[in-house]
Structure 1
Amino acid sequence: MVELGWREWVALPTLGIPRLRAKVDTGARTSALHVDAQWRFSEGGAPWVGFRITPARARHEVVDACAPILDEREVVDSGGRRTLRVFLATRLWLAGMERDIEINLADRRSMRFPMLLGRTAIAGAFTVDPARSSLHGKPPRYQPGPPA
């Protein structure tokens, strides 16, 4: 297993997000991605979601992405509030490893990290040392590898 710190840099290549700061949170079951805006549409009769994200704090890079909606579920946030969120499947690139994960789209503008990486995304592949951070640095330019 690969060790992670409490925060790491990740890439979500299938969504066109080359680099994003993520807080690794084993207390959270699911992973959440901050979006500035989201909208729904149909593609081939199936429900899809489009969204806009500003991955960097400098706010000069904006990414528009879309993906099929995997599910909609209620999520209880850290403040105890329940909200219905859109879930999608995507590819995570972290510490030189690729794996398919589920994420939900959320408003995390008041949070320091645009992505929360929950325990289901790291299970079976990573361990976390909460005393360390950014063990793997910023991801280099994405290079597809074999499926995890």
Structure 2
Amino acid sequence: MSSMIVLGWRELAALPGLGIAAMRAKIDTGARSSALHVESHWSYVEAGAPWVGFRLRPRRGSALVEAAAPVFDERWVTDSGGHRTRRLFIRTVLSLAGTEREIEINLADRRGMRFPILLGRTAVIGAFTVDPARSFLHGRLRRRASSV
């Protein structure tokens, strides 16, 4: 077995196919699927296939990013509070700790959460292991210097 990359319980992740260079991600092996916070989303058809357009804010105070992707699936997801909702899933490239891999991620309202992206075990299995006592092992977002 090849050695796996160690992640902390929170890391910086990018979704380059969606135009997202870096955002804070919570790594949650207790969650099966991954979730991406979107401010709004809309469905449409392109070339006979279902697509979803959406807007998200990668970081607090950052500009809204608009992206679109083919709908990969739609299924029921149960959140940590036991609430079931029907969510759209897309497939996109995750860039994490110097590695890129395609993952499934659902579009969700994570407005009350501290992390705009949650990476579940299906996104990390086979490539990463998680040390829950550590965080940001592969870089941090730099805070902007405030103007005086």
The TM-score, its normalising length taken from structure 2, stands at: 0.91
For the residues of structure 2 that align with 1:105 and 1:13, how far apart are their CA atoms?
A: 16
Task: Name the residue aligned to 1:80.
Answer: 82
Q: How far off its partner does 1:122 sit?
A: 0.3
Task: Name the residue aligned to 1:39.
Answer: 42
Task: Name the residue aligned to 1:4.
Answer: 7
The TM-score, its normalising length taken from structure 1, stands at: 0.91
Q: How far off its partner does 1:138 sit?
A: 4.0
CA root-mean-square deviation:
0.9
For the residues of structure 2 that align with 1:61 and 1:4, how far apart are their CA atoms?
A: 28
Task: Name the residue aligned to 1:121.
Answer: 123
Per-residue CA shift, 1:67-104, capped at 9, x if unaligned? 00000000000110000000000000000000000000
- 5+ unaligned residues in a row in structure 1: which ranges? 140-148
Q: Percent same amino acid at aligned positions?
A: 67
Task: Name the residue aligned to 1:27.
Answer: 30
For the residues of structure 2 that align with 1:68 and 1:99, how far apart are their CA atoms?
A: 17
Over alpha carbons, which structure has the higher Rg?
2
Task: Name the residue aligned to 1:98.
Answer: 100
Q: How far off its partner does 1:19 sit?
A: 0.8
